[in-house]
C-alpha cells in the first residue's frame, strides 16, 4: 500500500478523502445526526492473535501483482476516473476499466486461515450487511436521508443500490 500511495502521489493525484471530511463538517455544523455502520470484530485474546499473525504467512502475491499492474498500467485511467468523477461524467466512469487491487488485497487477508479463525473471513459481507441495515433504518425513520459511498459501489451491477432496489426501494441510478 505504501508503494501504491507513492505512485498516486508522484502522478499528481491524492489518495486522501476530500468529500467525506467536508460533508462531516457540514453535518456537524447543522446538527445533523450521523450514522457510521462500523463493523466491530471482537478478538478475545488480542496479544495471542497478534503473535499468531506475526508468525503466519499470507498468500499476498496476487495482491502485490495487482498493485504493480495498477501502478504500471492504470495510473492514466485513475486520473481519467478522478476527472470524470469531479465533473459528474457517469458514462465515462461506467466505460473506464477499474483495476481494483484493494479487493484482491483484502481477499488475501480475509482468505487466510487466521482470519477465518477470528471471524474476519466474511468482512466484505458483514460491511455490506451493516451498511444496508443502517440505510434501511435511516430510510424508515427519517424524512430525508443522505448517504456516501464510493462511486464504484454505486455503479456496480450488484452494488448496494441494486441490493436496495431488489429489496423493493425505488432507485434512480446516478
Domain count, the chain: 2
pLDDT tens per residue, the chain (174 residues)? 777 778 778 777 776 677 888 999 999 999 888 888 888 877 777 788 777 776 776 667 777 887 787 777 777 788 888 889 889 999 998 888 776 666 777 776 666 666 677 767 677 788 899 999 999 999 999 988 888 888 888 888 888 999 999 999 998 877
DSSP per residue, 38-95? ------S-HHHHHHHHHHS----HHHHHHHHHIIIIIHHHHHHHHHHHHHT-HHHHHH
The answer on 98 and 75 residing in a single domain is: yes
Q: Are residues 50 and 113 in the same domain?
A: yes
**pLDDT value, residue 45:** 78
Residue 170 lies in a domain: yes
Give me the pLDDT at residue 15, please: 67
Has residue 168 been placed in a domain?
Answer: yes
Give the pLDDT score at 102.
67
Tell me: do 94 and 162 sit in the same domain: no
Long-range contact list for 126-131, CB < 8 A, 24+ apart? Answer: 126/39, 127/37, 127/39, 128/160, 128/163, 130/37, 130/38, 130/39, 131/37, 131/160
Q: 103, 119, 135 — which closes off a domain?
A: 119
Q: State the pLDDT at residue 114.
A: 66
pLDDT at residue 92, as a whole number: 92
Do 149 and 168 share a domain, yes or no? yes
pTM: 0.73
Amino acid at each position: 500500500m505504501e508503494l501504491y500511495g507513492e505512485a498516486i502521489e508522484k502522478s499528481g493525484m491524492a489518495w486522501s478523502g476530500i468529500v467525506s471530511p467536508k460533508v462531516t463538517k457540514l453535518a456537524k455544523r447543522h446538527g445533523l445526526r450521523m450514522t457510521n455502520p462500523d463493523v466491530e470484530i471482537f478478538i478475545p485474546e488480542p496479544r495471542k492473535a497478534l503473535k499468531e499473525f506475526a508468525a503466519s504467512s499470507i498468500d499476498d502475491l496476487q495482491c502485490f501483482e495487482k498493485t504493480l499492474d495498477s501502478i504500471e498500467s492504470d495510473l492514466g485511467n485513475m486520473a481519467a476516473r478522478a476527472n470524470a468523477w469531479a465533473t459528474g461524467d457517469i458514462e465515462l466512469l461506467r466505460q473506464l476499466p477499474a483495476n481494483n487491487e484493494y479487493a484482491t488485497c483484502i481477499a488475501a487477508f480475509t482468505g487466510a486461515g487466521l482470519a477465518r479463525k477470528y471471524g474476519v473471513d466474511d468482512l466484505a459481507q458483514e460491511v455490506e450487511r451493516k451498511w444496508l441495515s443502517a440505510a434501511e433504518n435511516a430510510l424508515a425513520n427519517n424524512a430525508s436521508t443522505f448517504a456516501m459511498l464510493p462511486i464504484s459501489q454505486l455503479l456496480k451491477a450488484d452494488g448496494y443500490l441494486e441490493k436496495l432496489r431488489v429489496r423493493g426501494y425505488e432507485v434512480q441510478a446516478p
